[in-house]
Amino acid sequence: MAYIQFLGAAGTVTGSKHLVNTSSDQGGKAGFQLLIDCGMFQGAKEWRLRNWQPTPAPAAGIDAVVLTHAHLDHCGWIPRLVREGFRGPIYATPSTIDLCGIILPDSGHLQEEDARFYNRHKKSKHDPALPLYTLAEAEDSLQRFRPVQFEQTTQLSPEASFRFVPAAHILGSAMVELTLNLNGKVKKLLFSGDIGRVRDQHIAPGKVVRSGPTEGETADILVMESTYGNRQHPTDDPRPKLAAIIHHTVERGGTVVVPAFAVERTQKFLFMVKDLMESGQIPRIPVFCDSPMAIKAVEVFLKHSEECTDETCRLIRQYGSPLQWPGFTFALTSEDSKKINATNYPAIIVSSSGMVTGGRILHHLTQRLPDPKNTVIFIGFQAPGTRGFMIKSGVPEVRIFSDTVPIRAEIATLEQFSDHADTPELLEWLRTFTRKPATTYLVHGEPSASSLLRDAMQKELGWNVQVAEWMQKVIV
Ligand SMILES: [Zn+2]
């Protein structure tokens, strides 16, 4: 029998990697081997260490990768897979490929920078500290990408074909409908990837990409994310609260620092700040976007504006490219970045990584966290074990580059920016299925979120639901 093996994002929200093997031999390679997503583990060390282990199925024996979207926890291990010998095609939507063209080289660059930093400061137990993969390896892996349009069927092998359908999570994001023809028996598997906000604009204000994951799905086996399996997002507009936070911080002469993913979340935040400024709801203070990747991402968004919401299209028409806005500075070089450190007047600094696991945000927080005049606003999910999670949870100090940084700045959180459906939205989406899947496996969630969503699905829908375990194999 064919099987699925959960190689990542089982028991955690990162490292998405699901192996599908059409073989009847559980240990062998007789069948076609496909990886749905190839994400990097982030967060707690226990998980991050798994980035250094080879896949249980040797990389050279994997025939293809199908990628749902361009977030690192779904695509960030691709260069390592190629380094380990993977030579097959990587299928993704055109906008996902454009975003990976930014995200993967940046990730390789960060890996190298971190290794250099640790070597210079002798702060690693490993001598020398090595990058998981290099910038050159990340760029090299891009050659394996093959564009596939939404709704187009692609034959992978005589027994396997797939289609992308919109997931409405970020630009280019897709669910994977995988059809297996196993000895004359057709099985349909649906891998949700990350699921975006369900149909609307008003409950996800400021969303860049159109809401509404594909409805009316059907599957024999559903493999579904459960990031917010225990949560209900606030339904109010975040703008008044954001304006109030910025006002208070400016009044006391402080700076607002926003850790944000460079792709999508940063663009969404910048559009919102621009709109608040133009409508006179916040003062016109300098805005620094300290992320070379965010600049490139703006260009990708403008290129694929057919996926943007009407609100985003209106803002683009009204204000043009964010790269041209007066008062908004996009820092490209590390010299530009250092100049931001020298500013001591009120400003807004947006920088990545979004979970404060690396990148230029580390330097901004080292400098701004000790001063009570400043405010740090979290607008994205913070995985347990990340610095972002610790700062958000109210710890008095945090370790950055092995230094202890006291936290005296105000810490604020805006939950409305989420690009993931919450529990009521997930249930609403599941109710549109034309029939119950025989089994649903929940992945991509902390254990408590996954088990609460399992309970809710069993109780409200009567579905057969299991929480996937890391390395577990399930028969298709
Ligand atoms: Zn995602």
**DSSP character string of 152-218:** --EEEETTEEEEEEE--SSTT-EEEEEEEEETTEEEEEEE--S----S-STTSTT-SB---PPPS--
The pLDDT score that the predictor gives to residue 370 is: 97
Structure letter (DSSP) for residue 264: T
Ion ligand 1: residues, Cβ under 5 Å: 71, 194
Mean pLDDT value across residues 101-119:
89
- Residue 47 tokens, joined: 């998980």
Separation of CA 351 and ligand 1 centre (Å): 18
Separation of CA 74 and ligand 1 centre (Å): 7
Mean pLDDT value across residues 298-320:
88
Separation of CA 432 and ligand 1 centre (Å): 22
The span from the CA of 397 to the CA of 451, in Å, is: 32
Separation of CA 76 and ligand 1 centre (Å): 11
Separation of CA 119 and ligand 1 centre (Å): 32
pLDDT tens track for 24-47: 665 555 789 999 999 999 877 888
Q: For residue 393, how many other CB atoms are within 10 A of its CB?
A: 10
Separation of CA 272 and ligand 1 centre (Å): 21
Mean pLDDT value across residues 408-415:
95
The pLDDT score that the predictor gives to residue 210 is: 81
- Look at 68-77, 84-93, 230-239, 362-371 and tell me which has the smallest mean pLDDT: 230-239
Collect all residues with Cβ–Cβ distance below 8 Å to 85 and sequence separation of at least 6.
58, 59, 60
The span from the CA of 24 to the CA of 26, in Å, is: 6
- Look at 159-173, 202-216, 381-395, 450-464 and tell me which has the smallest mean pLDDT: 202-216
pLDDT tens track for 11-26: 888 899 999 999 866 5
The more confidently predicted of residues 235 and 408 is 408
Pick left, alpha or beta for residue 56 (phi over 0 → left; psi -120 to 50 → alpha; otherwise beta): alpha
The pLDDT score that the predictor gives to residue 236 is: 85
The pLDDT score that the predictor gives to residue 122 is: 67
Checking if the pLDDT of 182 tops 70, the result is yes
Separation of CA 456 and ligand 1 centre (Å): 23
Question: What DSSP letter does each residue of 96-132 carry, written as one string?
Answer: HHHHHHHHHHHHHHHHHHHHHHHHHTT--SSSS---S
Q: Residue 436: pLDDT band by 50, 70, 90 thresholds?
A: very high
Query: What share of the chain has pLDDT > 70, as a percent?
Result: 96
The pLDDT score that the predictor gives to residue 124 is: 60
The pLDDT score that the predictor gives to residue 400 is: 93
The span from the CA of 13 to the CA of 127, in Å, is: 30
In 293-343, DSSP assigns E strands to 328-330
Q: Residue 206: pLDDT band by 50, 70, 90 thresholds?
A: low
Distances from the Cα of 437 to the Cα of 121, 155, 455, angstroms: 53, 23, 16
The span from the CA of 36 to the CA of 346, in Å, is: 45
Average pLDDT in the chain: 91
The more confidently predicted of residues 235 and 139 is 139
Separation of CA 25 and ligand 1 centre (Å): 33
Separation of CA 149 and ligand 1 centre (Å): 19
Separation of CA 246 and ligand 1 centre (Å): 28
Q: How many CA atoms lie within 13 A of 439 on its CB side?
A: 11
Q: For residue 33, how many other CB atoms are within 10 A of its CB?
A: 22
SS3 content of the chain, % helix, strand, coil (to 5): 35, 20, 45
The span from the CA of 150 to the CA of 148, in Å, is: 7
- Residue 7 tokens, joined: 């190689």
Phi, psi of 204 (to 5 degrees): -125, 65
